[in-house]
Amino acid sequence: MANLVTALQGVVAAHPNKAAYVFGEDTVSYGQFYGQVEAMAATLEQKGIGQGDHVALVLGNSPAFLISYFAVLARGGVVIPINPTYTPDEMAYILLDGDVKAIVALSTLVVQAEAALTNLPQLRLVISVTYADVPALKRDGDIEFLPFSEAFATTKVEVVEVDEDEVAVILYTSGTTGKPKGALLTHLNLFSNAHSIGEYLEITPEDKALAALPMFHVFCLTVIVNAPLLRGATIVILPKFSPQDVFDLVPKHRVSIFAGVPTMYNFLLQTAMKVPAYASALKHVRVFVSGGASLPVQLLESFEQKFECKILEGYGLSEASPVTCFNPLHGERKAGSIGPSIVHVENKVVDELGEEVGVDEVGELIVRGPNVMKGYYKLPEETSMTLRDGWLYTGDLAKRDKDGYFYIVDRKKDMVIVGGYNVYPREVEEVLYQHPGIVEAAVIGVPDAEQGEAVKAFIVTRDEQVTLDEIRAFAATKLAKYKQPTHIEIIEELPRNTTGKILRTVLKSEQFQRN
């Protein structure tokens, strides 16, 4: 049966003394880790948390996340990972909409939100995680507050057998187009994608994967948590990404797998340009993976030249657990491409009628396979719009070349129409990245009285001497006139979410435009 917990049990039996994770100066074996999972699962059972119950994890990268995640799955429960940096209102929406019965959260957040938690009708248990002294929490009505240090029962608990089609995780989308939607990911969805990625990247027990991405995000959850653990590898936990910590931890632990979003690669590159000695710090990494957003070709080439490596760019989305495409570890890797379909997953580019388009023609990317979600939680209409005839409609514009490699052109909703011509922001951004004085660029459409829309570029520069006229002249040599930015604004940094994805909705907001 496709189940992450039973798969983990197999690894524990085969490698009980092998390191499962490293956190700070602590190294924990698979045998010890599974003991922690069992103890936590037993406590959940004692507190009445069972099969089908929804448990929110409001945690940063930590052993507590790994332990709680597998403990909930072992009880047959459903995990709802939540970004701990969300505002109280953002968290409250997910906790209420997600019908959460238990929460495992950072103690500081629990203290701040203690009063608000009483407004959640389903909530019965709150387990607070701390690495420092915090005020003692009280029992309030029907809600029991329990410190994480006391959440480990001494009794054992049997793993609850659940069907592979049962929901394991509800992943709330980032909500860039409105209220977040909860993608229902089944045990089969997560297991199949983790299994495929483990094979695709040839992960072995000798590998060490750096968890620099946030664990609450599906990219990290599949590529750096599920896949390595299913193959007996070691996870080196980084609480929060910083270039300095990456350059310290990779050589210290001989990290061999690194996954990041383009922003992280850019930060690592910029740091290494200031400190040349860092250029050799990543030499132990055999696999660099990029996802979460399109990786500018110029950034890819500059990073690879600086660190003498290769980055494998892939593609995924929460609704697909998440990976659907990857450039191959062996064989041809094409810069700017997200690669061919991974095993057992089918990608296709279609027109507005759902008919497949020809080679190099742009259309919407759709996906099907065992990794595709069951639907959105309590949203039947949105589910029927996104899942059609067995296919997941991604909302991303893409094209496919003659070799079966896919290329993301842009988000369907981000396309700019200038005088009837389609302008894809990524194409303009790729050109701007080629300018030696530009560190980052993001392009949006803005209203235009004559053309309907015009192209606007937000630029982060490396050199204060770079002028708007210089940027315009540079773009004019490489882009057709209708694609050239007619509005350019130099800013200190681009707005991003916690996974590093540029928030175009913020760039488009009237307040941001005025400021």
Amino acid 176: pLDDT: 45
**Of 394, 412, 430, at which residue does a domain stop?**
412
Do 145 and 43 fall into the same domain?
A: yes
Higher local confidence (pLDDT), 412 or 173: 173
Which of 160, 126, 127 lies closest to 141 in space, CA to CA?
A: 126
Q: Is the pLDDT of residue 174 over 80?
A: no
Over residues 437-459, the mean pLDDT reads 89
Flag whether 264 is in a domain: no
**Of 369, 394, 412, at which residue does a domain stop?**
412
Domain enclosing residue 76, as ranges: 4-162
Chain-centroid distance of CA 279 in Å reads 26
Do 397 and 425 fall into the same domain?
A: no
- C-beta separation of 349 from 381 below 8 A: no
What are the CB-based long-range contacts (under 8 Å, 24+) for 85-88? 85/498, 88/112, 88/113, 88/116
Flag whether 234 is in a domain: no
Q: Is the pLDDT of residue 136 over 80?
A: no
- C-beta separation of 346 from 340 below 8 A: no
How many structural domains is the chain composed of?
3
Q: Is the pLDDT of residue 475 over 50?
A: yes
Do 394 and 420 fall into the same domain?
A: no
Do 430 and 407 fall into the same domain?
A: no
H/E element, 23: strand 19-23
State the angle between helix axes of 297-307 and 262-274 in degrees (0 to 180), rounded to the nearest 10: 50
Most confident of 59-73, 127-141, 402-416: 59-73
**If DSSP states are collapsed to H, E and C, what string results for 252-304?**
HHCCCEEEECHHHHHHHHHHHHHCHHHHHCCCCCCEEEECCCCCCHHHHHHHH
Do 349 and 444 fall into the same domain?
A: no
Q: What is the CATH number of the domain that holds 427?
A: 3.30.300.30
Do 10 and 107 fall into the same domain?
A: yes
- C-beta separation of 55 from 94 below 8 A: no
Residue with tokens 């996954």: 259
- C-beta separation of 210 from 250 below 8 A: yes
Do 367 and 435 fall into the same domain?
A: no
Amino acid 226: pLDDT: 98
Q: Is the pLDDT of residue 442 over 90?
A: yes
Do 8 and 155 fall into the same domain?
A: yes
Over residues 299-315, the mean pLDDT reads 96
Which of 439, 452, 460, 511 lies closest to 486 in space, CA to CA?
A: 452
**Of 412, 446, 478, at which residue does a domain stop?**
412
Concatenated DSSP letters of 130-161: -SS--PPP--BTTBEEEEGGG---SS--PPPP
Do 112 and 152 fall into the same domain?
A: yes
Flag whether 15 is in a domain: yes
Q: Which residues pair with 211 in a beta bridge?
A: 237
